């Protein structure tokens, strides 16, 4: 009966290094593949048929497809990413502007300030009612 013991030196450090390196490269390649697929669908200048051809090329011959895409269209990938980030930032800024300009919210804040002034005694009841009527229309 063979009672051999497997120790850590049975799997050399260099072998572990190569394993980790190949896993890292595989993950990076998958990341690049999905990044390219996102870029294909994000490009508004490309027609639907051309997008379908690129996706088929990427799925049927993935390594060659990624290499060809990066060579042919890689330069503009960064520009499209910056453009997309700018569009998202503009949409966020317009949302913030619309939220801040909400007339119902501004009127409520003004009414709170008026009631605080009245509570401190800076406004009389008559002045408070006039200002309140003016705010409410």
> What pLDDT was estimated at residue 16?
82
Determine the pLDDT at residue 106: 59
Asked if 55 and 43 touch (Cβ cutoff 8 Å), the reply is no
Residues 6-19: tens digit of each pLDDT: 655 566 777 788 88
What are 80's two structure tokens? 């499209």
Q: What is the DSSP letter of 7?
A: -
Positions of the chain with pLDDT lower than 50, given as ranges: none
In this prediction, residue 27 carries a pLDDT of 96
What is the pLDDT, as a whole number, of residue 136?
77
- CA separation (Å) from 44 to 33, 38, 39, 47, 104? 19, 12, 10, 8, 38
The percentage of residues in the chain with a pLDDT greater than 70, rounded to a whole number, is: 86
pLDDT at site 48: 92
- Residue 135's pLDDT is what? 78
Residue 127 tokens read as 């002045």
Contact indicator for 45, 55 with CB cutoff of 8 Å: no
pLDDT for the residue numbered 109: 76
Residue-range domain boundaries for the chain = 1-101, 103-137
């Amino acid at each position: 009966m063979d009672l051999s013991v497997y120790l850590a030196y049975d799997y050399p450090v260099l072998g572990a290094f190569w394993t980790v390196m190949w896993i890292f490269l595989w993950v990076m390649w998958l990341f690049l593949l999905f990044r390219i697929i996102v870029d294909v669908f994000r490009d508004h200048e490309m027609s639907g048929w051309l997008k379908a051809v690129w996706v088929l090329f990427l799925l049927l011959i993935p390594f060659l497809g990624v290499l060809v895409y990066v060579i042919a269209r890689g330069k503009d990938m960064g520009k499209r990413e910056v453009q997309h980030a700018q569009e998202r930032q503009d949409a966020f800024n317009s949302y913030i502007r619309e939220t801040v300009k909400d007339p119902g919210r501004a009127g409520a804040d003004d009414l709170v300030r008026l009631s605080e002034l009245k509570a401190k005694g800076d406004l009389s009841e008559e002045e408070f009612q006039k200002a309140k009527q003016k705010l409410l229309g």
